[in-house]
Amino acid sequence: DAKTTQPNSMESNEEEPVHLPCNHSTISGTDYIHWYRQLPSQGPEYVIHGLTSNVNNRMASLAIAEDRKSSTLILHRATLRDAAVYYCILSGNNNDMRFGAGTRLTVKP
């Protein structure tokens, strides 16, 4: 199964943009790239996903490298409520959704 690599932790200042990287060098052509986040004491929640093209929604933007071996989740203006663990996941032909360790984002006021 293709795996992802993320930094263990990142810090950001409130109201500034945040770029969360994810490496997935063994991604296959049919793998979708998903991002979820988990707020303290809650279950994970969906953030965004994409296949090849960059994606935008009300929560974030997903920038996918041309070779698809990496992607970046962009929070345009971090708030204190964005402090969470962010997970980058690949879903492939076997249709399982396996979470890695994720990146713990700290937002400083």
Partner 1 sequence: DAGVIQSPRHEVTEMGQEVTLRCKPISGHDYLFWYRQTMMRGLELLIYFNNNVPIDDSGMPEDRFSAKMPNASFSTLKIQPSEPRDSAVYFCASSLSTGFEKLFFGSGTQLSVL
Identify each DSSP E strand in the chain by its residue range. Answer: 9-13, 18-23, 32-38, 45-50, 55-56, 61-64, 70-75, 84-91, 103-108
Residue (40 or 109) nearer to partner 1, CB: 40
How near is the Cβ of 92 to partner 1 at its closest, in Å? 7
Residue (53 or 93) nearer to partner 1, CB: 93
Residue (39 or 65) nearer to partner 1, CB: 39
CB 95 within 8 A of CB 32: no
Binding site for partner 1 (CB under 8 A): 30, 32, 34, 36, 38, 42-46, 49, 51, 87, 91-102
